[in-house]
Amino acid sequence: MSTKKELGGWLLASPYLLSAILFFLIPLGWSLSLVFFDWNVISPVRTYVGLGNFREALTSTRVFKAFVNTYKFMGIIVPGVIVASLGLALLVQHLPRGKQFYAVGFFLPYLASGVAVSLVVRGILSYDSAFNEFLRSVFGSSPRWLRDPFWATLVISAMIIWKLSGYYALIFLAGLQGIPRELYEAAALDGAGPLTQFRKITVPLLYPAFYTVLVLSVGLCFGIFTEPYVLTGGGPRFATHTWQLEIYSQAFERFRAGYGATVAVLNAVITFGSILIIRRVVESWGRRLGFR
């Protein structure tokens, strides 16, 4: 009986296990084997370079820019996406009717093609767009949205915030719906205003949602690709260069599979480390709130 049960369990888990082996473990092992070689995947000559790829990556200006830019994006995207998604969740929560309809509506940007959205944004921000014509008529000039390092960073961050807010709002909305109404009623009887209720009840009890959104959004900052690829090519002057752009450029434009794999491994290690630090910080906040 027990063996039958075990077999059934393995059978049910097998599609996941198989896909994990095929699409995760084998590619991971392949990547790890590549990092010690200078190889373009087709040449019969595979040059062993030891830790040479790591030395090159750790002293590369391009990798350094990708590293710095990721935290720059994180500094804008993480707070931005939390404020926007929490705001949306609160808005939907307080709607008298049609909550599901609006929640799904806000989720739609998450499903939109990154390339299509980037092309629309490019049109909106083009020099002769109605938006820029308006800015020039009011302020006398319009920003060089995609050609100035400051504005380009901001535009890409705003696009990602817009894309993710609806999705993360669903996580916050689920958290909000789990907070008992009685707590707010009791607080109101004690004289707590809406702001105090928000600070003392809503925010602490949304800790699990904050935790999830923070970890997801931090991880996402290490995977930014489509928006800078389509809009800026990583420029101007590497201002919007990212880890994924660097991996793509090395592996698929320069055909340096070994070095590309090395950058990917570094990216994975730094992503893992960053998420670990964020988790520790958020968990210490959670412990103070009584969550374990």
Partner 1 sequence: MRKWWQVLMGLVVVGVVGAAQIEIVFWTAPNPSQEVFWRRMAEAYMAEHPEVKISVSPMPEAPTSEAGILAAIAGGVAPTASENVFVGFGDELVRSQAIVPWNAFANWDQVVAARAMEETIKAWVFPDGNHYIIPLYVNAMLVAWRIDILRELGYEKPPRTYSEVLAVGKRLKEVYPDKFLWLRSELEVPTWWQRWFDFFVFYYAASGGQPIITEPEITADDEAAVAVLGFFKTLRDQELLITEPLATGFEEGKTIMTVLGPWTFPWWKENYPELVYGETYVLTPPPVPDNYPADKPVYTFADAKGLVLYAQATPQQRQAMWDFIAWVLSNPEHDLLWIQTTGMLPARDDVGKNPLFLEYIKEKEPALLDYAAAIPYAVPPIFHYKYVDIQELMGLECIYPVLIGELTPEEGWEAWKAAVKDILK
SS (H, E, C) 148-178: CHHHHHHHHHHHHHHHHHHHHHHHHHHHHHC
Residue 14 or 47 having the CB closest to partner 1: 47
Q: Which stretch binds partner 1 (CB under 8 A): 51-59, 71-79, 182-190, 253-261?
A: 253-261
Among 1, 253, 280, 284, binds partner 1 (CB under 8 A): 253
Q: At what angle do helices 207-221 and 61-93 cross, to 10 degrees?
A: 150
**Structural contact between residues 78 and 217, judged by C-beta atoms closer than 8 angstroms:** yes
55: contact with partner 1 by CB under 8 A: no
Residue 252 or 272 having the CB closest to partner 1: 252
235: contact with partner 1 by CB under 8 A: yes
Q: Which residue has the tokens 């009623």?
A: 185
x/- letters, 194..233, toward partner 1 (CB under 8 A): --------------------------------------xx
Among 55, 200, 237, 288, binds partner 1 (CB under 8 A): 237
Longest dimension (CA), the chain: 80
Q: Which stretch binds partner 1 (CB under 8 A): 81-89, 109-117, 145-153, 155-163?
A: 145-153
Measured in Å, how far apart are the chain's first and last C-alpha atoms? 37
Q: Which stretch binds partner 1 (CB under 8 A): 77-85, 122-130, 169-177, 271-279?
A: 122-130
* Residue 80, φ and ψ in degrees, nearest 5: -60, -45
Q: H helices of 193-256, where?
A: 194-197, 203-205, 207-221, 226-231, 243-248
Residue 40 or 212 having the CB closest to partner 1: 40
Among 54, 64, 255, 285, binds partner 1 (CB under 8 A): 255
**Distance in angstroms (rounded) separating the CA atoms of residues 204 and 219:** 23
Residue 130 or 189 having the CB closest to partner 1: 130
Residue 114 or 204 having the CB closest to partner 1: 114
**Closest distance between partner 1 and the C-beta of residue 78, in Å?**
27
CA-nearest of 100, 211, 210, 120 to 163 is 120
46: contact with partner 1 by CB under 8 A: no
**Closest distance between partner 1 and the C-beta of residue 199, in Å?**
44
**Distance in angstroms (rounded) separating the CA atoms of residues 88 and 102:** 10
**Distance in angstroms (rounded) separating the CA atoms of residues 150 and 260:** 28
236: contact with partner 1 by CB under 8 A: yes
Q: How many CB atoms lie within 10 A of CB 47?
A: 11
226: which residues sit within 8 A by CB, 6+ positions away?
114, 115, 118
126: contact with partner 1 by CB under 8 A: yes
287: contact with partner 1 by CB under 8 A: no
**Closest distance between partner 1 and the C-beta of residue 51, in Å?**
21
Site residues (CB under 8 A) for partner 1?
Answer: 40-44, 122-123, 125-129, 144-147, 232-238, 248-249, 251-255
